[in-house]
Amino acid sequence: MEIKPEVAREYPGLSPYRLKSGVVYGPVTSRRQGQSVGINLLPADLKVCSFDCVYCQCGWTDVTDPAKWDALAYPSLEQIGREVEEAFAQLRAAGCRVDSITLSGNGEPTMHPRLGDAIDLVQAARARHFPRAETSVLTNGTYLGKVDVRRAIDRLDERIVKLDAGTEPTLKRIDLPLLPFALDRLEEWVKDLRDVTLQSYFSQGRIDNTVAAEVDAWIERVGRIRPRYVQLYSLARIPPLSGLERVARSGLDAIARRLRERTGVEGRVY
């Protein structure tokens, strides 16, 4: 992505992120998933997402008109199968350790029109080359209202769903949904999943979702969802929006403690 110089100067300790040009990338050392191989089911070198999050490491969404999403050049099943098989075989031959295989990439992976078939290809290659690796998806949840999407991601080992706020106004300030989206509907959809892990971003400065009222609303929402656990994090890469401030580890730890005290749900800070 293109980082504006004036924005990059605000975050001297953070590095930029490069969009992916192929289906498979890594392995990379993930704060959450160990040695992780990424799977990009989205068009090459293009940020495609149903959110336009202010903190996204991929930058601003390139195509914000939903009417144009179906016509984008998503990788074909033939390309996905070929690139996954070749990459996994090469990694195994090189003796690489792979702890996890994650559908993420250049935006929202559940937007791929043949998501279920793509997941089957990834799962089959995993079984051949890295049977102990866990498969997962990082999703913002906007497509979980579709039964076929829920069924597809239920075949993975872990479903990691974004929840950056407990109130609609704050969520819209942080995540900038490009489709109609309601937190109450998200709660309904995740209850139809086999299980779910939540991933929550916190920041201060220009947008602050760490104030008591926002954290309380978020905890209440997490308590109703009852995830396996919650991944808490702050800025890790240069964001597209200026004025955001990273939350200190101590601040995230405090939120995690409040979450456990009030709901019993574990919060893991990264």
**Quick one: which of 40, 41, 63 has its CA closest to 178?**
63
- pLDDT, tens digit (0-9, with 9 covering 90-100), for 39-58: 999 999 999 999 999 999 99
Token reading at 243:
């004025």
Residue 250: per-residue pLDDT: 98
Residue 203 to residue 210: CA distance in whole angstroms? 7
As a residue count, the chain comes to: 270
Place of tokens 């490069």: 18
Task: For residue 227, give both structure tokens.
Answer: 């995830």
- Decide: 94 and 88 in contact? Cβ < 8 Å: no
Do 100 and 33 contact (CB within 8 A), yes or no?
A: yes
The residue to which tokens 């102990």 are assigned: 132
Domain count within the chain: 1
Is 110 within 8 Å of 69 (Cβ atoms)?
no
Q: Is 239 exposed, middle or buried (0-12, 13-18, 19+ CB in 10 A)?
A: buried
Determine what percent of the chain is predicted with pLDDT higher than 70: 99
- Residue type present at position 77: L
Distance CA 41, CA 38 (A): 10
Contact 3, 19 (CB under 8 A): no
* Host domain of residue 189: 5-269
Q: What pLDDT digit, counting tens, does each position of 138-154 carry?
A: 999 999 999 999 999 99
Residue 83 predicted with pLDDT over 60: yes
Mean of pLDDT values over 211-239: 97
Pairing of strands 197-201, 158-162: parallel
User: Which DSSP state fits 48?
Assistant: B
CATH no. for residue 151? Answer: 3.20.20.70
Q: Residue 189 — very low, low, confident or very high, per pLDDT cuts 50/70/90?
A: very high
